[in-house]
Amino acid sequence: MSLHEAMLYERQEDRKVKCCLCARRCLISDGSTGFCLVRRNEGGTLFTLNYAKAVSAAVDPIGKKPLSHFNPGALVMSIAATGCNFRCQFCDNWMVSQDKEVAGNIFPPAAVVKTAKERNCQGISYTYTEPTIFMEYAYDTAKIAHETGLFNTFVTNGYMTPEAVKTVAPYLDAATVDFKGGGDPDFYKSFSAVPDVKPIYETLKELKGNGVHIEITNLVVPKIGDSMERIKEMATWIRDTLGRDTPFHLLRFHPDYKMTTTPATSVETMEQAYMTAKDAGLRYTYLGNVSGHPAENTFCPNCNELLIKRRSFEITRWNLTENMRCPVCGTAIPIKGKYHPSAGGFPYPLF
């Protein structure tokens, strides 16, 4: 079960292989692993080491991803496998994403889908670590999930190849693409060991072109990743390339992993970031990790009516018509899927 031939690689001379799953495109010698440590070349064949090995599984409200304009209120079965293609010094899932051992419980794709159904989930989310580096597991699960009427979502750093996006897109309904530090290339190099941010923008265009619903997050880190100029640039790019209705979530940094001495981002800075993105023309901007703040809510961009009231991941008031319009002025609100009123607001882990 643990050694499974990888998708998307090319055989090279001298039994080397080139992995084409993520933008690192590692050239891997016989007997070695790629940067993510979970893909190994054995005699000129690339294997994934984390196939069907779930290191974490939980039932989450979809708002936790965060997805605010896709099947609001739904429950998603969330799974992760060991490993990551980034080395973020502030990772809040570092125990599983940066583990040198490929740990986990055997949880095959069909069992994931069956459990999701039993737990009354409407979809499956591939999350916590980077789904790109457990693509084979995610892909097989996503196919079965679609056959049974469940949707699939990725929470990803976006560092995928266009080939990887095209491969998974037929089974992928929504993706949350996470930026850090306003997409500053120096921030990515210094704090995530990522050489180039351009592939993330390419992934966003590719996802959009393949009809996947997208929501974007940006982690605002005090002093080193809170430039309002960067946030303005990012918001402007999103508006011009993906559209002003693209939901944009500004996430508050909290100390974790190797950055425990950096304080949490102030609410004042978060509010400044929120206004910067709104002023750049993004109509659905949200604040995350600032529980109880009014910027968790959805307002009508035309008349400012409060449409969806939230507290953290929970929807506490729904005020849209059946066809997703503002009840006051009739403006259409871009929400994909339907509202799931009784699904629940609190995550619970399975293991």
Q: Which residues bind ligand SF4 (CB under 6 A)?
A: 19, 21-22, 24-26, 34-36, 39, 85, 133
The alpha-helical segments, DSSP class H, found in 210-326 are 228-241, 267-279
Q: How far is the CB of 251 from ligand SF4 (least distance, A)?
A: 24
Q: Which is nearer to ligand SF4, 134 or 151 (CB)?
A: 134
Q: Residue number with the shortest CB distance to ligand SF4?
A: 34
Q: Which is nearer to ligand SF4, 203 or 227 (CB)?
A: 203
Q: Which is nearer to ligand SF4, 57 or 81 (CB)?
A: 81
Q: How far is the CB of 195 from ligand SF4 (least distance, A)?
A: 12
Q: Which is nearer to ligand SF4, 133 or 150 (CB)?
A: 133
The conformation of residue 275, written as its DSSP 8-state character, comes to H
User: Residue length, the chain?
Assistant: 351
CA quadruple 14, 15, 16, 21: dihedral sign: positive
Q: How far is the CB of 15 from ligand SF4 (least distance, A)?
A: 16
Q: Is the distance from CB of 132 to CB of 19 less than 8 angstroms?
A: no
- HSE-CB for 339 with a 13 A CA cutoff: 17
Tokens representing residue 40 in the block: 């190994």
Q: How far is the CB of 324 from ligand SF4 (least distance, A)?
A: 37
Q: Which is nearer to ligand SF4, 22 or 55 (CB)?
A: 22
Q: How far is the CB of 20 from ligand SF4 (least distance, A)?
A: 7
CA dist 290 and 312 (Å) reads 8
Supply angle C-alpha 154, 192, 127, rounded to 5: 20
Tokens representing residue 341 in the block: 């009123």
Q: How far is the CB of 136 from ligand SF4 (least distance, A)?
A: 11
Q: How far is the CB of 87 from ligand SF4 (least distance, A)?
A: 11
CA dist 82 and 13 (Å) reads 29
Q: Which is nearer to ligand SF4, 24 or 283 (CB)?
A: 24
How would you class 336 by CB atoms within 10 Å of its CB: exposed for 0-12, middle for 13-18, buried for 19 or more? middle
Q: Which is nearer to ligand SF4, 49 or 58 (CB)?
A: 49
C-alpha closest to that of 17 among 49, 59, 46, 37 = 46
Cα distance from N-terminal residue to C-terminal residue, the chain: 19
